[in-house]
Amino acid sequence: MVSLPAQRSERIESLLRERLGARHVEVIDESHLHAGHAGAAGGAGHFRAVVVSPLFQGKTPLERQRLVYGALAEMMGPEIHALAMQTLTPEQWNAG
């Protein structure tokens, strides 16, 4: 089921909190910046996210991205065309 854009952002946040134990999540829908882009034509959105999770501790940036993509697997493709992300441990987030 494909959701409305505002619901997508909320669903992304909810899945990341639930599946990654994320302590802080910010999701920004940037789909309007990609109007006319081939990926946007099918209705899938472009998003930017900041995710803070203790599961990222000791993981490489690539491993962290894989965790995020895994948490959002069912949304990738039909609802998310592109996802830019910043992944931080709670310690990195608190260090500012």
14-18 long-range contacts (CB < 8 A, ≥24 apart) are 15/71, 15/72, 15/75, 16/49, 16/51, 16/53, 16/68, 16/71, 16/72
Spatial distance between the Cα atoms of 55 and 68, rounded to a whole number of angstroms: 10
pTM, two decimals, is: 0.85
CATH number corresponding to 5-95 = 3.30.300.90
Work out the number of other CB atoms within 10 angstroms of the CB of residue 50. Answer: 16
For the stretch 15-43, pLDDT in tens is: 999 999 999 999 999 986 655 555 555 56
Spatial distance between the Cα atoms of 43 and 40, rounded to a whole number of angstroms: 5
Domain segments of the chain as ranges: 5-95
Q: Identify the DSSP state of 56.
A: G
